Copies of this chain bind each other. A is one copy, B any other.
Amino acid sequence: MLSKSAIKYINALKKKKFRQRYDNFIAEGNKIALEILRQPDLKIQSIYATQDWVDLHEKKLHNIKDKLTVINERELKSISSLSTPNKVLLVLEKSKVEIESNLIKNNLSLVLDGIQDPGNLGTLWRIADWFGLEYLFCSENCVDLYNPKVIQASMGAFLRVKAIELNVPTLFSQYPKQSIYGAVLGGRSIYETTLERNGFLLIGNESKGISDALAATITHRIGIPSSGGAESLNAAVATGIICSWFR
């Protein structure tokens, strides 16, 4: 049985203001829930699931029985952010992201400047996960990393790739020797550029690209040559292509 205060709290977490105030966020659905239950480090604040799901996964829920509330489909609908709610919803505690200089110095990190669409941000996180990147850095004008649509689109990447919103120029200034590869229209072809194994890959806003302030910090302007008539590629598609050439 779902209390009114729980409904109110979970729905409040759909807003960035409350996610920041309480350091909690939401993840949903059978697949991601099972993945979360396998993570020893992740702190589950509460879990809401339908009886059939609980029956199916009883053993896995042993350690967090006190955090479990069995709810019905109607109740799930009242707290879900999905158009088709899927059995289970979790309230999680945000993990503190430690920034380790060595990981940054020895790897490629993805840096996003003003990505606005939650689906795009989640897909970019998933790409970072696919290519085994350690860090995803977001400028302060990106959509919130803990937006439920971002978490959903990340397909579990949030469990593996450390992500943090920060002041990007400050980050860059701390690694003055690191290359900053900026993806820009008309940049030097990735097919003809020697890409190092480490550095920052900077991706700009979906329509406006990289902001002027950050464009000035780029050390390598790179691009994907077009053979057709399209003006641009979707930010996530372009990032996937560039990552595959960095590999």
Contact = CB atoms under 8 A, between A and B. Distances in A.
Describe A's contact surface by its main secondary structure: loop
Contact of A123 (B155, B228, B237): B237
A120 to B, nearest CB: 10
Contacts of A233: 126-127, 130, 240
Contact of A230 (B157, B225, B244, B245): B157
B127 A229 contact: no
A83 to B, nearest CB: 13
Counting every copy of the chain, the complex holds 2
B244 A224 contact: yes
Given A236-B237, A238-B240, A240-B238, A161 B228 contact: yes
Contacts of A231: 155-156
A127 B237 CA distance: 8
A239 B238 CA distance: 11
Nearest to A153: B234
Contacts of A247: 191, 225, 227
Nearest to A243: B241
Contacts of A239: 237
A240 B236 CA distance: 10
A160 interface: yes
A232 interface: yes
A144 interface: no
Contacts of A227: 130-132, 247
A129 interface: yes
Contact of A245 (B129, B157, B238, B244): B244
10 closest residue pairs by CB, A with B: A132-B227, A132-B228, A237-B240, A129-B230, A130-B230, A160-B229, A241-B244, A129-B228, A130-B226, A240-B241
